Chain A
Amino acid sequence: MTTEKYESYYVPDQSHWPIVGAVALFLIAIGAGSYVANLDTGEGIGGWVLLAGIAMVIYMVFGWFSNVIDESMAGKYSAQMDNSFRQGMSWFIFSEVMFFAAFFGALLYARVFSVPWLGGAGNNLETMQVLWPEFLAAWPLTKTPDGTTTEAMGWGGLPLYNTILLLTSSFTAHFAHVALEQNKRGTLKIWLGITVLLGLAFLVLQVEEYIHAYSSMGLTLASGIYGNTFFLLTGFHGMHVTLGTIMLIVMFCRVYKGHFTPDNHFAFQAASWYWHFVDVVWVMLFVFVYIL
């Protein structure tokens, strides 16, 4: 037997959190479904069901994670368990990468194929002359074939500031991690606090940019493929930054409560990985949505 060499792998007891989470997702799906389906009339209670579902998810995450934290603090987790968490988080981030890949794919397809083809490229000249002879293929597509016009968002100003903010925050997150590994708790708190502030500042500027786009540029979600890809890519990225910031705030609170040691800080590591991931996505966005 190899019992001596082998730490036992912790298999948790029955837990009621997953089923709470399942009901929560159910409420979110039917709430969002009926909210969206009645968007034009504004009737129904879909929005409230959606909010109830979201509240329930938050409740579930609190309960579930506090169980996990308690177990971890009680020393029930082996190094192997830690490894499971790490690998699980890595593959989760990979799945997020593929989610963004779908939207980047749509952006590249529109730029490389559909817009030029609509303008008559390849063997599509006749199609263009029959459908929209006036159409001019260009990117950013400021005038769609059916005549919706908009302005393009430049890369200077707010987007550039946001790039600087987010890139800096990736470094500060790394410094915080280094400080944690060297057990310098004071430095850790400072760097982590700065990271959170940078994340919040990014979000504020992002909202500012959206307001500007909607109110004075006529750039909306519905203004053709340029506005579609712009808002879906930056919007989903913004949601991920929001989630990442919340994760970092939770880490900040846990650091204040004295959690984490130089060797054992999976949650911190995961939040930091996630933060680097949203940063990389932003760099891709900045290049492909704003600059090019």
Chain B
Amino acid sequence: MTTATDTLDHHDDDHHDHKMTGIKRWLYTTNHKDIGTLYLWFSFIMLLTGGAMAMVIRAELFQPGLQIVEPDFFNQMTTVHGLIMVFGAIMPAFTGLANWMLPMMIGAPDMALPRLNNWSFWILPFAFSILLASLFMESGGPNFGWTFYAPLSTTYSNGSTAFFVFAVHIMGISSIMGAINIVVTIMNLRAPGMTYMKMPLFVWTFFITAYLLIAVMPVLAGTVTMVLTDTYFGTSFFNAAGGGDPVMFQHIFWFFGHPEVYIMILPAFGIVSTIIPAFARKQLFGYSSMVYATSSIAFLSFIVWAHHMFTTGMPLAGELFFMYCTMLIAVPTGVKVFNWVATMWQGSMTFETPMLFSVAFVILFTIGGFSGLMLAMTPVDFQYHDTYFVVAHFHYVLVTGSLFSIYAGAYYWLPKWTGHMYSEKLGKWHFWCSIISVNLLFFPMHFLGLAGMPRRIPDYALQFADFNKWVSIGGFAFGLSQLIFLVLVIKCIKGGEKAPAKPWDGAEGLEWEVPSPAPYHTFSTPPEIK
């Protein structure tokens, strides 16, 4: 795709080559690699925190009846688990990857607005400490589901809603500023000669994702603001008695929410499109069709939001419109899956851990995509709505989709980040334990949902007991398997086999032309791209 033709000079920039040490280095940093590292560690801590909440949920659901937690606390767990995984784990992990890799991939000295970059990160831990602290308040934390539907979040909410609202505001500010930084970096800091259609696909997907973020995070801010005024200032946006409508909440929320789910999957497409060609030792099949498919998905994401609300009693024309638009998304997504498979076709494939996670991504994300198609059909959705089928669907796309792609990316670039090769043996353990347990965890949920088990409840009818037992066992195993990754990363940082500049022989891109670990400042003068 792109090659740098000049010899690269990697001396630190003379006027700011001193690195502060200790905590100040991390608090005051303007370096994209430091900030990327902060994002990645933060997201992993959040993954374990949100994961611990999932363990509480699965422990309660291990058998029918109420045994471990109160129903209200169970609701707080499902709510905060969702919020943390979406806004605390997946999105910051992608931003972390973007921070680390984008400037190196496009030959830029750093992100375009480095101080803003620092601010975008450091407000996040504060936002999540507010959210987590609300769990310990007298009234308990948010208990209305991560989608905070009115009137659960307004009329019937507990005393911590204001804290939830302001925490979400801060998360939104962080995402918007991070996204502006990504857009400006890509538009303005590409090395001379790197035209848009020469950018690595990873860069393309983050570019489009950042646009989605700038467009919809402010809508989320508006939504939570209306929830705040409805709860505390007597407005009735979501209250029919004052002329509003609770269904209006769902429209505004999902206008944010649907692009949001693509915000969490488009970067995954970029990562997988980087890794599969490297280990198939072939060029990516259909680069430009990938770009157009990503753009189409991003556009369509704005006109499908009401497929989350088929059962609210929309006019028939609305249901048909949203059903057909939703199904259209299968076309560009199918293009992508086809291209990944075509890239692997007749390639000289090897299966190091990044590739294992990527291949698993293609298969399991496709399963999540197919269950999405089933949910897209309005009449059928009447049966599936708010059941475990939906839970299975979005965990297939978010865990075996987004999270697996993040793992794939982490394994792929760990040598570049740390300068050491990770332990392939531990990596394979992590992969195989994860892939078996994650399917045990989420696949039976399809059957539970089809049989009618509703989501977000602490207890269930007896006929669901067997499946739930296996699901919980899968959940605990999957949770424990992630600790292998923690051990692997710590070992990789501490030492291990020295990594060459380019540890994967099929890898392409500017990031492999700098030594491993990548120098603190990469391109103080941009490389020429031919």
* Interface, chain A (partner B; CB < 8 A): 1-3, 6, 8-9, 11-19, 21-23, 25-26, 28-30, 32-34, 36-37, 39, 64, 80, 83-85, 87-88, 91-92, 94-99, 101-103, 105-106, 109-110, 113-115, 117-118, 122, 131, 141, 144-146, 148, 221-222, 224-228, 232
Docked complex: B106-151 residues within 8 A CB-CB of A: 108-110, 112-116, 118-119, 122-123, 126-127, 129-130
Docked complex: B206-244 residues within 8 A CB-CB of A: 214-219, 221-223, 225-226, 228-229, 232-237, 240-244
* Residues of B close to A85: CB separation below 8 A: 113
* Residues of B close to A96: CB separation below 8 A: 218
* Interface, chain B (partner A; CB < 8 A): 6, 9, 13, 16, 20, 24-25, 27-30, 108-110, 112-116, 118-119, 122-123, 126-127, 129-130, 159-163, 165-167, 169-170, 173, 176, 179-181, 183-184, 187-189, 192, 214-219, 221-223, 225-226, 228-229, 232-237, 240-245, 247-248, 251-252, 255, 315, 521, 524-526, 528
Contact flag A224-B222 (CB < 8 Å), given A13-B16, A14-B24, A106-B252: no
B218–A102 CB distance below 8 A: yes
Contact of B119 among A13, A22, A37, A114 (CB under 8 A): A22
A13–B162 CB distance below 8 A: no
Using CB atoms, name the residue of chain B closest to A1.
B6
- Sample of 17 more A-B contacts, CB < 8 Å, known A14-B25, A110-B248, A225-B242: A6-B525, A8-B109, A13-B30, A16-B27, A18-B118, A80-B189, A83-B188, A87-B187, A91-B179, A94-B215, A95-B215, A98-B216, A106-B248, A145-B243, A221-B233, A224-B242, A232-B225
* Residues of A close to B252: CB separation below 8 A: 102, 105-106, 109
Using CB atoms, name the residue of chain A closest to B126.
A26
B24–A39 CB distance below 8 A: no
Contact flag A84-B113 (CB < 8 Å), given A14-B29, A99-B222: yes
A29–B169 CB distance below 8 A: yes
Using CB atoms, name the residue of chain A closest to B235.
A228
**In whole angstroms, what is the CA distance A113 to B110 when docked?**
48
A19–B232 CB distance below 8 A: no
Going nearest first, the 9 A-B pairs with the smallest beta carbon separation are: A102-B222, A222-B234, A225-B243, A114-B245, A14-B28, A18-B119, A99-B218, A29-B166, A26-B126
Is the contact region of chain B dominated by helix, strand, or loop, or is it mixed?
helix
Contact of B251 among A14, A98, A109 (CB under 8 A): A109
* Residues of A close to B29: CB separation below 8 A: 14
6 contacts across the A-B interface (CB closer than 8 A): A37-B161, A109-B245, A109-B252, A113-B245, A228-B235, A232-B225
A144–B248 CB distance below 8 A: no
A98–B218 CB distance below 8 A: yes
Contact flag A99-B162 (CB < 8 Å), given A88-B112, A228-B244: no
Contact flag A9-B109 (CB < 8 Å), given A33-B162, A102-B252: yes
**In whole angstroms, what is the CA distance A221 to B24 when docked?**
46
* Residues of B close to A91: CB separation below 8 A: 179-180, 183-184, 214
B244–A110 CB distance below 8 A: yes
A29–B233 CB distance below 8 A: no
* Residues of B close to A114: CB separation below 8 A: 240, 243-245, 247-248
Using CB atoms, name the residue of chain A closest to B243.
A225
Contact flag A118-B118 (CB < 8 Å), given A12-B30, A26-B126, A88-B180: no
Using CB atoms, name the residue of chain B closest to A113.
B245
A99–B221 CB distance below 8 A: yes
**In whole angstroms, what is the CA distance A226 to B526 when docked?**
56
- Distance from B248 Cβ to chain A, minimum over Cβ atoms (Å): 5
* Residues of A close to B108: CB separation below 8 A: 9
* Residues of A close to B126: CB separation below 8 A: 22-23, 25-26, 29
- Residue in B130, B170, B222, B225 whose Cβ sees the most chain A Cβ within 10 Å: B222
Contact flag A122-B315 (CB < 8 Å), given A11-B30, A25-B123, A83-B188: yes
- Distance from A66 Cβ to chain B, minimum over Cβ atoms (Å): 13
A36–B243 CB distance below 8 A: no
- Distance from B18 Cβ to chain A, minimum over Cβ atoms (Å): 8
* Residues of A close to B244: CB separation below 8 A: 110, 114, 225, 228
Using CB atoms, name the residue of chain A closest to B133.
A30
**In whole angstroms, what is the CA distance A117 to B313 when docked?**
12
* Residues of A close to B251: CB separation below 8 A: 105, 109
- Residue in B108, B233, B242 whose Cβ sees the most chain A Cβ within 10 Å: B242
* Residues of B close to A19: CB separation below 8 A: 27-28, 118, 122
Contact flag A144-B236 (CB < 8 Å), given A225-B242, A228-B229: yes
- Distance from B409 Cβ to chain A, minimum over Cβ atoms (Å): 25
B110–A11 CB distance below 8 A: yes
**In whole angstroms, what is the CA distance A158 to B503 when docked?**
70
- Distance from B136 Cβ to chain A, minimum over Cβ atoms (Å): 13
Using CB atoms, name the residue of chain B closest to A115.
B243
**In whole angstroms, what is the CA distance A148 to B236 when docked?**
11
**In whole angstroms, what is the CA distance A228 to B20 when docked?**
50
Using CB atoms, name the residue of chain A closest to B220.
A102
* Residues of B close to A18: CB separation below 8 A: 28, 115-116, 118-119, 122
